[in-house]
Structure 1
């Protein structure tokens, strides 16, 4: 993805397999809050399904790392919440590689939400 953002060719053809709800291989399991995480999910599923266990952001990142360790790609969704206050707006931007406030080598994708209670910004 970073190569494409920089106008370069891809280093590999992406392979993504989302197998949510199936048992994770033993060697790729972890614990969250002292409880074993035996199945993989996505934060996106909690909006439309009742999950068998709580699923936190750290679980999302660990699932992505486990997928990458198997040579698979993963997706961490950065999207508008499924339900939101109509007063909430958002703006997307990119901090170019090497620019002030960014990373020396990589562009930074930024989304900022403006809410009645203030702004929320996150960058990847």
Structure 2
């Protein structure tokens, strides 16, 4: 799932940029959620597999750019990533470990190129 910073920040709650700076004007990742065939999804599948930033240290720079937290108060986004891992990522752990989960989300965002597609469609 992606989110557009402009619309997120335009809500009544407003937004706060991450402590490391304003994210790019691009769609950001909100999460990667496994779904059942009926459209529902599992959540909080394995409380015994906690988030560990050490497992994704090599991805942090890319996550900061592509998966920033816009929630207030400002943060380094790690609590957002923790929430997404705990709620959704642990439900994919039979296929993806923690590193694989975050890498898969980054890969999907990279392959999608949603902003480029919208810009191209607007020029036709």
**TM-score, normalised with respect to structure 2:** 0.24
Larger gyration radius, structure 1 or structure 2: 1
| Higher strand residue share | 1
**TM-score, normalised with respect to structure 1:** 0.24
Q: Greater relative contact order: 1 or 2 (C-alpha under 8 angstroms, separation 6 or more)?
A: 2
